Chains A and B, each alone.
Chain A
Amino acid sequence: MSEQTLPFAGRLNWRAPLPHSRRGKVLVAIRLAGVVALAAIAANTPGFFTAVSLFSLLNTTSFIGCVAIGMTFITLSGNIMSFALGVTLSTSGIVFMAALPLGLGGALIVAFAFGAAVTGAQGFVVGYFRANPIIVSMAALALITGGATLITQGQGVYPQGDAAAPLKGRVFGVSMPLAAFIFTVVVAQIALSFTRFGRQLYMVGSNWRASLAAGLDPARIVLGAYIAAGLCTALAGILMAARYSSGDLELGIGYDYSAISAVLVGGTAISGGEGSAIRSFVGAFIIAICQVLLLLHGFSTQIQYLTIGVIVLLVIMLQTLADTD
């Protein structure tokens, strides 16, 4: 193991089990088979293609999806995941609710700035000092949870007035969370594919040392990735707080795990440098579809948790086929 790879993110060994091209084809075939199987089950499930089930599917996926897009930036930058995005979601919702007396615009700015600052601080430490991202995000989780509990005394924050009402409406006939999710996916994908930042992010994620040698400033790019993650998470937090008309620390519990599940199921590599926002979009929907299918077939919520866990484990095991180095 070279000194430059992060501990415990990389591969244990350096020999390839199959030639690259064949491994890639096997992987694509397995993924296609999975999607086809899922579609077949969905088609044979009575009630799946009804409007109610689809709309509830789309709405619940939107919140997780926004966080997953944010997580995608962190994963792509080679920093695996952040455990603090769930609590960042809840706290930006709280900040939004508390700032509502400033008016909708002011509250939005404050909440976005909060999300970007909190997550950006992790990005700064991870990028400039190359601290371990997992440990830093655990520290951030404890710090934000503790700080927020201390300030709110563990109580929910409720809005003054109805300045947040526009966020509960519909845009072009779709609900606000879904519109925001699609907007986030489009913007994120454009940023990743067509901007210099996106290209540099892929390079930093796939090889930090090479990006340094190529004259990039990897620290700044990692910082940018974390700020983007903070913005996406704050968006989810704001919409969630508006939807439930309260900001509460409980809102975001488990969202970091759901988000990283979506990112990985979508096929973004956990070692960084490979993946996209659209993949996470697809991943979030695959997970949501699985949940709805299990629900329609009469399985309880606990089976859903287990299924998602097993799917993530399998997807990670499959990634060994995609790993090319």
Chain B
Amino acid sequence: MRPLLANRSVRPYLLLVAITVVLWILDGGQGRFFTTATAFSVLQQFATIGPIALGLGLSMIIREFDLSVGGMISLAGCIAVLTGASHPELGVALAVLFGLAWGLFQGAIMVWLRLGSIGVTLGGLLTLGGLAYVVTGNLSISYPRMDVALAVNRPVLSIFSFRSLIAFAVFLVAAFFMARTRVGRDVYATGSDRRAAMVAGVRTSAIIPAVFACSGMLAALGGSLLSYSLAAASGEALTDALVPATAAAIIGGVSLMGGKGTPIGMIGGVLVLCLLRAGLNAVGTPPAVQDIVTGGVLFLVAIADAVDLDPRLFAIRRYCAEMFFRRDDLGRPRQASPAE
């Protein structure tokens, strides 16, 4: 059990089982929860949050953070809807190409000007958000192809859809690259100790733009498919997906300190979050509770991943031991030291 718990990629799946049990108990045998409809809605949310979480997670693995995905989702949706009326594939392709180009641009700036990712991608977020407003003319634009909207959401094998299958495929490709190729190793090396990686011959100045390009492409893919499925796009919604995607990546075992986490773990993280949201929805809690749960989980994970958590906990434990049990921190009865 111990080594299983220590594996960061297994933890989200254990959590998944635990949440299923809790929701099953909450449901109290009314059959609202164990339905194909719930499973389908979990996977639909997975399709929306998954690619974004994967992109963010990859940027977190190299110890950076891509804030610009928030703007990329809406802009990619707008691009896809505006250009994909006659050929839907063309719209997605253009959006993904734009995501690739923008990610490369951001990564190149970071490497070339030696800037931190938060600043650059914050500027990117605001610029992309502005661009989305400009291309839509500050309106919500609708997508004329209802057949495409229905096709991407049509259930496949009763619980999957085209969108969620694409999301799974993307995750599996990423998992293969991260686990089995040299590029994957280089990405982990860049994240765990950039200086050592450079010394060891990893071309970090190529890895960083590549990861941001992936992140841009994934956000663009997620955003354009989402806009197709809603048959609409607009410049609004700057961070709507950013918070759950971040939470999902962290639950999936990605560390903010870089170098840790796998795409397979991230699948589990996204599923945990989507299951929580869909499950709460199924048992009839108001939507605001989903926000609170997402925020609460993110908050706890942020504390659990904090740099100074251990020393603070140690201080608290020592304080409690002295105050309440008259013991020192090793559990021995406290003795007055000669100095006192």
Which A residues fall within an 8 A CB radius of B?
A: 1, 7-13, 15, 17, 80-81, 83, 125, 128-132, 134-136, 138-147, 149-150, 219, 254, 257, 260-261, 264, 270-271, 300-310, 312-317, 319-320, 323
* 8 Å CB contact of A313 from B126, B134, B296: B126
Chain B residues whose CB sits within 8 angstroms of the CB of A15 once the complex forms: 114
Chain A residues whose CB sits within 8 angstroms of the CB of B126 once the complex forms: 257, 261, 305, 308-309, 312-313
Looking at the complex, which of B24-32, B41-49, B239-247 is the stretch in contact with chain A? B239-247
Docked complex Cα distance between A142 and B294 (Å): 7
Q: Nearest chain B CB to A165's CB is how many angstroms away?
A: 32
User: Which residues 233-255 in B have Cβ within 8 Å of A in the complex?
Assistant: 235, 238-239, 242-243, 246-247, 250
Q: Nearest chain A CB to B154's CB is how many angstroms away?
A: 31
If over half of B's interface residues share one DSSP class (helix, strand or loop), that class is named, otherwise mixed; here it is: helix
With A130-B308, A257-B126 as given contacts, are A320 and B115 in contact (CB-CB < 8 Å)?
A: yes
Closest residue of chain B to A17 (Cβ to Cβ) is B114
Closest residue of chain B to A16 (Cβ to Cβ) is B114
Chain A residues whose CB sits within 8 angstroms of the CB of B299 once the complex forms: 125, 136, 139-140, 143
Asked if A146 and B64 make an inter-chain contact with CB atoms under 8 angstroms apart, the answer reads: no
Q: Nearest chain A CB to B101's CB is how many angstroms away?
A: 15
Contact sample, A vs B, 6 pairs, CB 8 Å cutoff: A131-B303, A135-B256, A139-B247, A149-B286, A271-B116, A319-B115
Asked if A12 and B256 make an inter-chain contact with CB atoms under 8 angstroms apart, the answer reads: no
Asked if A309 and B130 make an inter-chain contact with CB atoms under 8 angstroms apart, the answer reads: yes
Chain A residues whose CB sits within 8 angstroms of the CB of B246 once the complex forms: 135, 138
Closest residue of chain B to A80 (Cβ to Cβ) is B118
Given contacts A135-B256, A139-B298, 17 further A-B contacts (CB under 8 A): A7-B65, A7-B257, A9-B118, A17-B114, A125-B306, A131-B302, A135-B246, A135-B301, A141-B243, A142-B294, A142-B298, A143-B292, A146-B293, A149-B291, A305-B134, A309-B126, A323-B114
Asked if B291 and A146 make an inter-chain contact with CB atoms under 8 angstroms apart, the answer reads: yes
Chain B residues whose CB sits within 8 angstroms of the CB of A309 once the complex forms: 123, 125-131
Asked if B289 and A143 make an inter-chain contact with CB atoms under 8 angstroms apart, the answer reads: no
* 8 Å CB contact of B239 from A12, A83, A129, A139: A83
Q: Nearest chain B CB to A49's CB is how many angstroms away?
A: 27
* 8 Å CB contact of A142 from B63, B193, B243: B243
User: Which residues 275-332 in B have Cβ within 8 Å of A in the complex?
Assistant: 286-296, 298-299, 301-303, 305-309, 312
With A142-B243, A312-B123 as given contacts, are A7 and B133 in contact (CB-CB < 8 Å)?
A: no
Docked complex Cα distance between A138 and B247 (Å): 9
Asked if B243 and A138 make an inter-chain contact with CB atoms under 8 angstroms apart, the answer reads: yes
Asked if A302 and B302 make an inter-chain contact with CB atoms under 8 angstroms apart, the answer reads: no
With A131-B305, A302-B137 as given contacts, are A317 and B109 in contact (CB-CB < 8 Å)?
A: yes
Asked if B295 and A141 make an inter-chain contact with CB atoms under 8 angstroms apart, the answer reads: yes
Closest residue of chain B to A148 (Cβ to Cβ) is B288
Which B residues fall within an 8 A CB radius of A?
A: 63-65, 67, 109-111, 113-120, 122-131, 133-134, 136-138, 193-195, 208, 235, 238-239, 242-243, 246-247, 250, 256-258, 286-296, 298-299, 301-303, 305-309, 312
With A138-B243, A302-B138 as given contacts, are A8 and B289 in contact (CB-CB < 8 Å)?
A: no
Chain B residues whose CB sits within 8 angstroms of the CB of A134 once the complex forms: 65, 67, 118
Docked complex Cα distance between A140 and B249 (Å): 17
Docked complex Cα distance between A135 and B118 (Å): 12
Chain A residues whose CB sits within 8 angstroms of the CB of B130 once the complex forms: 302-310
Asked if A145 and B291 make an inter-chain contact with CB atoms under 8 angstroms apart, the answer reads: yes
Asked if B302 and A146 make an inter-chain contact with CB atoms under 8 angstroms apart, the answer reads: no
Chain B residues whose CB sits within 8 angstroms of the CB of A125 once the complex forms: 299, 302-303, 306
Closest residue of chain B to A306 (Cβ to Cβ) is B130
Closest residue of chain B to A145 (Cβ to Cβ) is B291
Closest residue of chain A to B286 (Cβ to Cβ) is A150
Closest residue of chain B to A121 (Cβ to Cβ) is B299
Asked if B238 and A254 make an inter-chain contact with CB atoms under 8 angstroms apart, the answer reads: yes
Docked complex Cα distance between A312 and B124 (Å): 9
Closest residue of chain B to A146 (Cβ to Cβ) is B291
* 8 Å CB contact of A8 from B65, B193, B294, B306: B65
Docked complex Cα distance between A7 and B117 (Å): 9
Docked complex Cα distance between A260 and B239 (Å): 15
Q: Nearest chain B CB to A189's CB is how many angstroms away?
A: 24
Chain B residues whose CB sits within 8 angstroms of the CB of A270 once the complex forms: 116, 118-119, 122
Asked if A130 and B307 make an inter-chain contact with CB atoms under 8 angstroms apart, the answer reads: yes
Q: Nearest chain B CB to A154's CB is how many angstroms away?
A: 8
With A139-B295, A145-B291, A310-B127 as given contacts, are A8 and B116 in contact (CB-CB < 8 Å)?
A: yes
Q: Nearest chain A CB to B60's CB is how many angstroms away?
A: 8
Docked complex Cα distance between A142 and B305 (Å): 19
Asked if A149 and B288 make an inter-chain contact with CB atoms under 8 angstroms apart, the answer reads: yes
Chain A residues whose CB sits within 8 angstroms of the CB of B242 once the complex forms: 138
Asked if B250 and A146 make an inter-chain contact with CB atoms under 8 angstroms apart, the answer reads: no
Q: Nearest chain A CB to B288's CB is how many angstroms away?
A: 4
Chain B residues whose CB sits within 8 angstroms of the CB of A141 once the complex forms: 239, 243, 295
Q: Nearest chain A CB to B55's CB is how many angstroms away?
A: 14
Which 4 residue pairs of A and B lie closest in terms of their CB atoms, listed nearest first? Answer: A142-B295, A146-B291, A306-B130, A313-B123
Chain B residues whose CB sits within 8 angstroms of the CB of A131 once the complex forms: 302-303, 305-307, 309
Closest residue of chain B to A261 (Cβ to Cβ) is B126
